[in-house]
Amino acid sequence: MTSKKAKTAFELAMEKIDRMPKLDKKEIEKQNKKELAEKSEAIVHRYFHGSLKIQNLEQEISQFDNNEQPMVRKNLLNQLKESIGLIDREMNTKVLAAIQQLDGKVDLVKINSDLDNIILKYQHQRQKEYANLEKEELKQLQKMGIAGSAVAPNIQKSENWLLTEEKLKNQFDQKLVKIREMLP
């Protein structure tokens, strides 16, 4: 009868690790990048939701290894830039303030003014298109025998509105791309 020594839990775990496919250098780098992107996203999320103050952004970056910090800073700037939108001006102000905090060279006055200009034009155009469509839809409802001061068309479900809105958004998103290009 042959006696076989039972393996310890540690030995079993090591055997399991040995059997796992080894990651090559490129894969490890890719994995690290992904992790840093996720961590950066979490920082931006906390900043937007008020649980991280603007003056603590640098402190968050400093908690990463020295060689990771430039990548985290770049991620944060990219994610902030992508958050610039056509609707929420308050959010845009918050985004630009954070970008300036992370890169003091930004000319916020010019960018803020250009951005405000785009948003005002977008909102003006959007309201105009909305009002035109509202008139048209009211006429359609009247033709169907639905009228009176209590009637409002349901523009949000109108296919015409969805198409108009998408066209407008695409048109003005192009202008936002230029703003993003002016940022670090």
Q: Are 73 and 61 in contact (CB under 8 A)?
A: yes
Distance CA 153, CA 136 (A): 9
Nearer to another protein, 106 or 153 (CB): 153
Burial of 80 (C-beta count, 10 Å sphere; 0-12/13-18/19+): buried
Name every residue whose Cβ is closer than 8 Å to that of residue 31 and which is 6 or more positions away in sequence: 23
Nearer to another protein, 68 or 136 (CB): 136
Q: Which two tokens stand for residue 46?
A: 């906390």
Whole-number minimum distance, CB 162 to another protein, in Å?
13
Nearer to another protein, 74 or 126 (CB): 126
Nearer to another protein, 24 or 159 (CB): 159
Binds another protein by CB under 8 A, chosen from 36, 108, 141, 179: 141
Q: Annotate each residue in 145-164 with x if it binds another protein (CB under 8 A) or - if it does not, as one string.
A: xxxxxxxxxx-xx-------
Q: Are 96 and 106 in contact (CB under 8 A)?
A: yes
Q: Annotate each residue in 24-63 with x if it binds another protein (CB under 8 A) or - if it does not, as one string.
A: ----------------------------------------
Q: What is the CA radius of gyration of the chain?
A: 27
Distance CA 39, CA 61 (A): 10
For another protein, the binding residues in 70-129 under the rule CB under 8 A are: none
Whole-number minimum distance, CB 84 to another protein, in Å?
25
Q: Which residues bind another protein (CB under 8 A)?
A: 141, 144-154, 156-157
